[in-house]
Structure 1
Amino acid sequence: MNVDADGKVCLVGPLTFSTVSAQLAASAALFTDRSRLCFDLSGVTAVDSAALALLVEWLRMGREHGVTVQFSQLSPALRSLGTVSELDQIDATLAMS
């Protein structure tokens, strides 16, 4: 998982129960020595509720480390999961497109 100088992280492939543990482990180091991360989900090919849990965990990690976390290019399916879970009301970054 790579991050550019502006804190943009491009995700590619599925974010599902079978992949989010590895994504979470790979992302831990991203939360050091920076003030902002923007996870670009335009390359995500499939999501399930585990993807939503991962985004919530990244928000928690950001708060813990003093890093502003944002999301871009959320798929309609992921936004829908956030709405059904009422997480879009908890954190506005989950409602970003």
Structure 2
Amino acid sequence: MTTLFSHRGVVLESGDAGLEVSGDLGTSVAAALAEAGEQWFERGEAASLTLDFSGVERASSAAISVLLQWLRICRRRGIVVNEVRLSAPLRRLTSLAELDALFDPPAA
């Protein structure tokens, strides 16, 4: 794993599978984290990937905003998102907001 961003306990790493976010992601670091991810996308290092937010410690609209922004970038660039992994708190938030269908894999 390569660390792309680390600030206030929030870490963004890239690896063979894609991008992994961990920590207590709140509004104070969301913009900088999103930008670090966008820079990685600009380098064109992946044709397909996993976006792993399973290490995000609490439910946060900031985390969902970053994830949605990265999904838009993937769509624009034609990058296939194989999987979106969410932590239990983020899974509850997306379910409550009725956004879970955006992050679940399509039914076979």
Scaled by the length of structure 1, the TM-score of the pair is 0.77
Structure 2 runs not aligned, ≥5 long: 5-12
Q: CA deviation at 1:43?
A: 2.7
**Runs (5+) with no aligned partner, structure 1:** none
Confirm or deny: 8 A CA contact 1:79 1:95 kept in the other structure.
no
Higher normalized contact order (CA 8 Å, seq sep 6+, divided by chain length): 1
Equivalent in the alignment of 2:96: 84
| Map 1:23-42 → 2, pairs under 5 A | 23-31=33-41, 32-42=44-54
What is the count of residue pairs matched by the alignment? 91
Higher strand share: 2
Root mean square deviation, CA, Å? 1.9
Q: Does 1:71 align with 2:81?
A: no
- Please state how far the C-alpha of 1:63 moved relative to its aligned partner: 0.2
Could you tell me the TM-score, scaled by structure 2's length?
0.70
The Cα shift of 1:49 comes to 0.9
Contact 2:22–2:57 (8 Å) recurs in 1: yes
Report % sequence identity.
33
SS at match of 1:86: coil
Which runs of 4 or more aligned residues in structure 1 lie more than 3 Å from their structure 2 counterparts after TM superposition? Answer: none
Matched, 1:95 2:77: no
Larger of the two Rg values belongs to structure: 2
Residue by residue, what CA displacement relative to the aligned partner does 1:54-73 show, whole Å, maximum 9, x if unpaired? 1111111100111122322x
